[in-house]
Amino acid sequence: MSTPETPGMPESAVGSENVVDRRGFLRGLAAASAVATVGDAVSPAFGQQASGAGTAKPAVRRYPIDEPVGMLYDATKCIGCKTCVVACHEANDLPPDTRRDPRYDAPLDLNDYTKNIIKLYRAEDGETTSFIKAQCMHCVDPACAAACMIGALQKREHGIVTWDPNRCIGCRYCQVACPYNVPKFEWDSATPKIVKCELCNHLLADGGQPACCRVCPTHAVIFGSGEELLAEAKRRIAEHPDRYEPKVYGEHDGGGTQVLYLSKKGIPFEKLGLPALSEEPVPERARTIQHSIYQGAIAPTVLYGLVLAGVWRSRRSGAKDSALEQEDSE
Amino acid sequence: MSHRSREIQPVGGPLWTRPFKILLTLAGLGFVLIVWRFAVGLGPSTGLSDGYPWGLWIAFDVVTGTALACGGYAVAILVYAFNQGRYHALVRPAILTSALGYTLAGLAIAIDVGRPWLIYRVPISVGKYNLNSALLEVALCVMAYVVVLWIELMPAFLEKWKESERHGLRQFAEKTLPVLDKALLFIIALGVLLPTMHQSSLGTVMLLAGPRLHPLWSSALVPLLFLISCIAMGYAVVVMESTLSSRVWGRKRETAMLATLSRAMIVVLSLFFLLRLVDVIWRGQLGLVLRFDVYAWAFLVEMGLTAVAIGMLLRKGRLHNAGYLFQAAMVIVLAGTVYRFSTYLLAFRPGSQWSYFPTVPEILVTVGLVASEVVVYIVLVKRFPILAGRAPVRQPA
Amino acid sequence: MLPLHLLAETPDDLLDHHVDRRDFLKICTMAAAAVGLPASAAAQMADTLAHGGRPSVIWLSFQECTGCTESLLRTSHPGLAELILDLISLDYHEALMAPSGHLAEEARRQAMEKHAGKYILVTEGAIPTKDGGIYCKVGGQTAVEMTREAAEKAGAIIAIGSCASWGGIPSADPNPTGATGTPMVLEGKTVVTVPGCPANPYNFLGVALQFATFGTLPELDEKGRPLFAYGRTIHEHCPRRAHFDAGRFAEKFGDEGHRLGWCLYKLGCKGPETYANCSVQHFGEVVDAWPIGLGHPCFGCTEEKLAFRVPLHQTAVIERPTPPDTYPPIHADRGGVSPWATGVGGAVVGALAGAGYMASRKLGEEGSETGPEKDEEARDVDP
């Protein structure tokens, strides 16, 4: 039974709790992936088929993702209790950030101690407010993974972007690339790591879920399959157009993200710190340029051949010149 | 006699001059600060942050530093690709400056990255490469180019060692020189190919910042612009280095040669200017210049300096004045430096809540690295046959 | 609750006291509920006790103020009378028992003999260890000897109060008697410690009655403290926690914040470092009858590292910092630029520019090339 007045309660069951059990979403995905695997190169962005009337050109998915999982954060349900912040610390063995005030875990933003944070947006009128949960967006085509030269940051199982300490040299190109400014660096460490949300992938075996989703008292953030979450997000907008901004952030933004956002009506996503991005995946341009120059190493090889010819000819004429000089001096 | 004056030989003379001691002190200070940086981490030692993960060491030491070290590349293009053999005397000192510059850029990278103990994995982890990453290309290419440069410089060492009293060195030199001579063809060609690749990739690198890169610098032409700009800077550094070392050590003046070199510089600079302007107009971003904010001014400064340099070089009559030529070269170097700083630091906009300025230790490390480069340059130039010119006043020690 | 003078009568008199079955069951139910035992415990308790299975309790007193016993006197669920008459057999308690002197000691030994392996040994007060433990002797025996002797055949050992748990106030610096807690003199034995100054009587009752009813002990932490009472810090279950999270602190006794009942952290409250349940199980069965409830900061009476060691008004360390009741904005201002750095940077750039200009002037002074040099060059340049 739909009870719109009850805050925080899910209006329909996305699974019996808001966790889609593994079997459930595998089944659901089997149906979706049948469509997705057709025409892989120009396949629709995952979740595209649920959007109904295609309002925009589908983004090109670069990385085929098996059984993508994600989160859906509904800002209208969040009460800013920050239990997700505490749970994230505990699940990821992170120390509380007491650097600003020894009494509290009070970071100003994501940082080397904080993989998940709740921020508050307050409009100029002082009245309109919204909480926003910030963590890694687990993009469909992540800029950080495109940046990382040695594959330390990569999209791995279920599309979760994880960091490998055995490869990372700490060059921080991922920090330059990410449009959401997510990867953080341990600046004060002699052996620094890159720190960012990895969807608690160490807990997902045996039907687990990310710690933030597990503890949220209002189910403002829920975990599930990418397909189902997008469908749920759209359903909420359709059923309560007066409550929500008419857009699911992350459906196509920057090529799409696996963490989706719903905002309160009247609060555009940019105000919440989610940048306005085109549908083109963020790394597309740089990647295209790099590929077109270096594809198959053709251009470098041709250039090398040309230069080799030039050098050979120059040295030969140079040898002739110095031979002439020798003759002159004798 | 005229031939001997063209001979390439060590400058000779004492090493421990006052400027040398000052430079060595600066270099020493820089290295002490480097050790401290590794002990405390990048946070306390630099002004870097999560908003500005790249700062002075990347923008200057690596990106600008390698461009300044493109003298060898620029001269090699002229001598070998355009068959201008008369510039041959410029090659070896240019290669030295390049070798030192690139080695120092490599050192700067090793200092700047957070987990340098894993750098060794970059060249060997072939199966793990992310071929989408422009930075991979830069890293591998720069590593290879450093090796190439030192090989190209080997003849300078081998020629001296061939005359050495030490039997081992003499034998080594005698055996290696002919082998090197044969391989040099391929090495020199690599020395033209590799910088073409990585200097352009250095431009592509910043494009991954996507919407966070200011539109005046965010263009598909960035790799080409970086390449052209580095060639101009390479020439300019060759000019500066050549005129300075002639003056300081009383070597033969190459001013006439350099003056004709300026014709090539005019072409390169004009190409940069036009391409940049057309690109901005074509992409419809010219309006941003009219805002006269800091971005607009940076753009105007870059273009203005380039135009001034072209203007200076066009005054053929004055080009035979070494001082004038030096000034023109300075303007070119400045233009290219501003362009690179703009692309990597100014145009990168993580959000107005972030700001960056290098800390004092960060600056001193850069100063120390440059000073150490000059120190090594002086040592090598004085002890090995690198510069051409008159016979030295005193025999080398 | 029987008046005290009645307890001074002989043991036989006590045995005459009758309780009908209904009242008896009520007592058991209240006792079970009060200490968190399951509802089934009441029936089980009644059953065990009806068959004459009142467990024997040997209560030893050493360097104590008797506050923990007094604390126990103030319970009513069960009251002490119900406890000692119906639920347990208090076979030795120096303050409450009728006999004294050698008679008392003899009664103790007999009880220990008779109920060997089953009796509950309770210790109250610290045990001095210096100089062979002579600073507390009862009936010619040192406290150490007495404890060890009694522990030999005890079924369970409970140390009530901070003094018995780790030394308490007698162990405060300079600790002239070498006072220490019961677990420290009973190496290798499981000692349930119920610290507090005084201990909350229901914490003790919970342990004692569980053992009496089921023969088991509750889950203990590494210090032997039952987790049902000492598993959380005061800070984690404090009614004033919302004030802490919101940054509302009393700064001085009697100021507005103090009157409004704000957090006492700045007045030195040790709640963040103190494991106890005073915030939920108040004292004297009066609501808010506990230190913070009365407006005084907790001083960490259960904790060896805090009580009688750390100054009352020294602020505590927060062991598990959690987010405050404030929120960072969407874009918090970060960073600033050091004027020193700007200065040095400017100086370096200036120096380079200046040096470059000077160099160019010097180079220019040589003038344009004339004379033999130029000619030489003209000849050397390739056509």
Torsion C372-C377-C380-C381 (CA) sign: negative
**Would the CB atoms of A82 and C326 count as touching at under 8 Å?**
no
Q: How confident is the model at residue C268 (pLDDT cuts 50, 70, 90)?
A: very high
Burial class (CB in 10 A: 0-12, 13-18, 19+), C26: middle
**Per residue in C300-330, pLDDT tens?**
999 999 999 999 999 999 988 999 999 999 9
Interface mutation target, options B23, B355, B366, B369, chain C, most CBs of C under 10 Å: B355
In chain A, the percentage of residues whose pLDDT exceeds 70 is 77
Interface of B with C in 221-260 (CB under 8 A): 243-244, 247, 252-253, 255-257
User: Judging by DSSP bridges, how do beta strands A259-262 and C192-194 pair with one another?
Assistant: unpaired
**Per residue in B46-91, pLDDT tens?**
999 999 999 999 999 999 999 999 999 998 888 877 777 777 778 8
The predicted pLDDT at position C36 comes to 72
Residue B120, min C-alpha distance to chain C (Å): 33
**Per residue in A164-202, pLDDT tens?**
999 999 999 999 999 999 999 999 999 999 999 999 999
Measured CA to CA, the distance from residue A213 to residue A219 in angstroms comes to 7
What is the DSSP-derived secondary structure letter of residue C58? E
**B356 inside 8 A of chain C by CB:** yes
Nearest to C290 by CA among C298, C282, C300, C301: C282
Give the residue-averaged pLDDT of A73-92.
96
Nearest CB to A119 within list C324, C328, C382? C328
DSSP string computed for B352-392: TT------HHHHHHHHHHHHHHHHHHHHHHHHSS-EESSPP
List helix spans (H) across chain B. 18-40, 42-45, 56, 65-68, 71-76, 88-112, 121-124, 134-162, 167-207, 222-249, 255-282, 286-289, 294-314, 322-341, 360-383
Secondary element (H or E) of residue C258 = helix C256-259
Give the residue-averaged pLDDT of A15-44.
37
Tell which phi-psi region holds residue C158, choosing left (phi > 0), alpha (psi between -120 and 50) or beta: beta
pLDDT surpasses 80 at C97: yes
**Per residue in B216-254, pLDDT tens?**
999 999 999 999 999 999 999 998 988 888 877 777 677
Structure-token pair, residue B169: 């060195």
pLDDT surpasses 80 at C31: no
Q: How many CA atoms lie within 13 A of B127 on its CB side?
A: 0
pLDDT surpasses 60 at B173: yes
Nearest CB to B359 within list C341, C348, C382? C341
In DSSP terms, which residues pair with A92 in a beta bridge? none
What is the DSSP-derived secondary structure letter of residue A329? H
pLDDT surpasses 50 at A72: yes
The three-class DSSP label of residue B66 is helix
What is the DSSP-derived secondary structure letter of residue B77? I
Comparing B95 with C341, the larger pLDDT belongs to: B95
The predicted pLDDT at position C37 comes to 77
Gyration radius of chain C's alpha carbons: 36
Give the C-alpha distances (Å, rounded to integers) separating A222 from A3, A20, A270, B267, B291.
Answer: 19, 9, 22, 61, 45
Give the residue-averaged pLDDT of A205-209.
85
CA angle B241, B246, B248 (to 5 degrees): 95
Measured CA to CA, the distance from residue B27 to residue B77 in angstroms comes to 32
The predicted pLDDT at position A327 comes to 56
Residue with tokens 């396949």: A43
Give the residue-averaged pLDDT of B186-201.
93
**Residue of chain C with shortest Cα separation from B356:** C337
Measured CA to CA, the distance from residue A236 to residue A241 in angstroms comes to 8
**Would the CB atoms of B330 and C345 count as touching at under 8 Å?**
no
Q: What is the 3-state secondary structure (H, E, C) of C65-107?
A: CCHHHHHHHCCECCEHHHHHHHHCEEEEECCCCCCCHHHHHHH
The lowest-confidence range among A93-107, A169-183, A263-277, C27-41 is C27-41
- Contact indicator for A263, A236 with CB cutoff of 8 Å: no
pLDDT surpasses 60 at B396: no
Give the residue-averaged pLDDT of B174-185.
87
Give the residue-averaged pLDDT of B327-339.
94
**Per residue in A108-130, pLDDT tens?**
999 999 999 999 999 998 888 99
Rounded to the nearest 5°, which phi and psi values hold at C87? -105, -35
The predicted pLDDT at position A326 comes to 54
Rounded to the nearest 5°, which phi and psi values hold at B388? -95, 155
The predicted pLDDT at position C246 comes to 95
pLDDT surpasses 90 at A329: no
* Mean predicted lDDT score pLDDT of chain A: 81
- Model ipTM value: 0.91
Structure-token pair, residue B175: 């055996």
Q: How confident is the model at residue B375 (pLDDT cuts 50, 70, 90)?
A: very high
The predicted pLDDT at position B384 comes to 87
Torsion of CA A158, A160, A166, A170, to 10 degrees: 160
Interface mutation target, options A113, A161, A163, A187, chain B, most CBs of B under 10 Å: A187
The pTM (predicted TM-score) of the whole model is: 0.83
Find chains touching chain A: ≥3 CB pairs under 8 Å: B, C
The predicted pLDDT at position A64 comes to 58
Nearest CB to B116 within list A169, A176, A321? A169
Secondary element (H or E) of residue A316 = helix A298-329
* Mean predicted lDDT score pLDDT of chain C: 85
**B43 inside 8 A of chain C by CB:** no
* Mean predicted lDDT score pLDDT of chain B: 89
Give the residue-averaged pLDDT of B339-364.
93
Measured CA to CA, the distance from residue C32 to residue C300 in angstroms comes to 28
pLDDT surpasses 80 at A318: no
For helices C339-365 and B360-383, angle between their N-to-C axes, nearest 10 degrees? 30
User: Judging by DSSP bridges, how do beta strands C56-61 and C89-93 pair with one another?
Assistant: parallel
The predicted pLDDT at position C42 comes to 79
